[in-house]
Homo-oligomer: A and B are copies of this chain.
């Protein structure tokens, strides 16, 4: 079972001590760990066999990303996979031929959809492209781009003559100083601002189809997997502390004020897993409405409940919870990041309303 393998690998290779080491380091991730991920074939999972991949489904990545989330493991696997997914869905044959085999073998790719305003509406773009003589001149900036510094290729969204389009920027085209590291709440991740001003790409770098919806869905699925893993892990952090810490001569886990909310965190986590694996199960077969409902339900539920679990984890650790040394904060930060990327619970519920009620 893929889940067991993935869980073993991630817990062995990303113990919390190494997570803390990574936070301190300059590089965006561990090259060594990344090499092993490639060797496991995970980068090739969703790439079709015709492009030298394994020809499996996004669904097969879910248990892997869940395990990574459980261990706060960071590699470019998710961002590369999402970029590959965009190429599969919307790329030209030439783009697929050029990039998919390379991504399968470990080339790093990422997606750059967000902008300074932080809008979750992916079609609301203030970075622009202007066509001239087979070239596209870019302007504006993209924000919160994960793993951008290491990326061999970045998939960006821009407003081209009033329409949102996707385009590829190869590493070689990014001028010095165009990437600036951004400070984000989840310190295990690396995010960058990408200044587009002055970058000119060839028209052949534009994707044939603007598959923003497909990218959004895949991102939601993998974010939910990451959150389900994180939620399970932070629950364990809480339970461990409740079973070892004493106050007033009793294990604090015997106090219902801590025990009962922890039970709710368990229940919420189980629901997150249920929503996640439901979405994963129907990924390949559902109608678009069914899939959209499943994904937005999963994201809405997980966003709220993982963030709540992180919040309670800090509180239930008392004074220790207030320190950087306590692992609770790592999960709270992770939860907040995931909550506010690609729509929080209110946002998704509002998009669900017409699908469910009207």
Looking across the interface, which residue of chain B has its beta carbon closest to that of A260? B257
A121 at the B interface (CB under 8 A): no
**Residues of B close to A256: CB separation below 8 A:** 255-257, 260
CA gap between A257 and B264 in the complex, in Å: 13
Per DSSP, are chain A's interface residues mostly helix, strand or loop, or mixed?
Answer: helix
Contacts of A257 on B, CB cut-off 8 Å? 256-257, 260
- Shortest distance from the beta carbon of A147 to any chain B beta carbon, whole Å: 40
Copies in the complex: 2
Q: How large is the interface on A (under 10, 10 to 19, 20 to 34, 35 or more residues)?
A: under 10
What is the minimal beta-carbon distance from A262 to any residue of chain B, in angstroms? 12
Digit string of A248-271 for contact with B (CB within 8 Å is 1, else 0)?
000000011100100000000000
> Closest CB-CB distance, A273 to chain B, in whole Å?
26
Mark A28-69 against chain B: 1 for CB-CB distance below 8 A, else 0.
Answer: 000000000000000000000000000000000000000000
- Residues in B whose Cβ lies below 8 Å from that of A255: 256
Find chain B residues with CB under 8 A from A260 CB. 256-257
Q: In the complex, A69→B35 CA distance in Å?
A: 72
**Cα–Cα distance between A273 and B255 once the two chains are bound (Å):** 31
Whole-angstrom CA separation of A256 from B256 in the bound complex: 5
A256 to B260, CA, bound (A): 9
Q: Interface readout for A135-161 with B: 1 if CB under 8 Å, 0 if not?
A: 000000000000000000000000000
Query: What is the minimal beta-carbon distance from A250 to any residue of chain B, in angstroms?
Result: 12
Nearest CB on B from A315, distance (A): 13
Query: Given the complex of chains A and B, what is the CA–CA distance between A221 and B256 in angstroms?
Result: 38
Chain A residues proximal to chain B, CB less than 8 Å: 255-257, 260
A-B contact pairs, 6 of them (CB 8 A): A255-B256, A256-B256, A256-B257, A256-B260, A257-B257, A257-B260
Closest 6 CB pairs of A and B: A256-B256, A256-B257, A257-B260, A255-B256, A256-B260, A257-B257
